[in-house]
Each structure stands twice: as C-alpha cells, then as structure tokens.
Amino acid sequence: MKILIFIIAISTLTSCKKKAPENRLKECIESDMMQDLHDPSSYEFVSLTVLDTVYTKDIAQKNYDNAVRNRSLITNKKDIEAMDRVVKSNKTKLDEVDPAQIEHIELIFSARANNMMGAKIKTSYFYKITGYCYVLEREKR
C-alpha cells in the first residue's frame, strides 16, 4: 500500500510533460485517498468538480486594501507611523506576487470503492488543496 502511494508520488513529481490541471489534481487527491480505502484495488473515479480557485495575488490585494482602510481610521500619530509601515510592507508584497500563483483550490471529489462489507459505495469529499498538491482540508460529504 505504501509502495503504491510512493510510486504515485514519485511519478507525479518526475513527470516530464505538462498535465492538465484537473488530471494533476486528480492524481494528488487519489494518492491522499488511497491510504484510507479498505480495498484500494476496487477504486473507481467518478467526478472532480472545481468550486473555487484562490490566487495568492487576491489575498495580497485584500491584505493591502485592509491595511489602507485601517490606516484611514487611525488618529494617533505614533500608530499612524506604524500603520504606514504595514501599508508599505503589504504594497511591496503585492507588487512581488506572481499573479498566476495559486494559493489553494476548493473542489468536490467523488469516487467508488468497496467498504469493509465488500459493497461498492460512492463517497464524495470536499478538498482544499494547494497548487503544490498539499491537502489543507478534507471533509467527507
């Protein structure tokens, strides 16, 4: 079982050709999911539905906007100077971020596999996964 997961992880990392984003996500989730299946050999993919893609640039923009808004509410001179440094720092981060860098992707992943009784069941999961295939959240639906 662990060898199968290791082989999938290595093949994902060493693949030479570009894969479609959905295929890459599917492979990442399958490698995460296989460790929890009672009978991995009975696994069948059903569907993958992307709900949302959050880009790092969006988060940096939101942080900058919040800093500017908070700066306008401050009246104390010492606090204004501190907040000006925060605004400047957030602006620098915003300017340096790659607009195509993905923070995380939210999706629904459905698959069929045999349970402990041998019956094939369909299960759906909500996943929040980074662009680097790190699972941030997984919740059974």
Least Cα distance to 28 among 136, 140, 134, 137 occurs for 134
Around Cβ 41, how many Cβ atoms within 10 Å? 8
Q: Give CA–CA dist 138/127, Å, rounded.
A: 5
- Give residue 17's pLDDT: 45
Q: How many Å apart are CA 86 and CA 60, to the nearest integer?
A: 12
Given this model, what pLDDT does residue 18 score? Answer: 46
CA distance 81 to 83: 5
Listed as ranges, residues in the chain with pLDDT below 50 are: 16-19
Amino acid 16: pLDDT: 44
3-state SS assignment for residue 82: helix
Its sign, for the CA torsion 43, 44, 46, 47, is: positive
- In the 8-state DSSP scheme, what is residue 64? H
**The model's pTM:** 0.67
Domain ranges in the chain? 2-54+101-140, 56-96
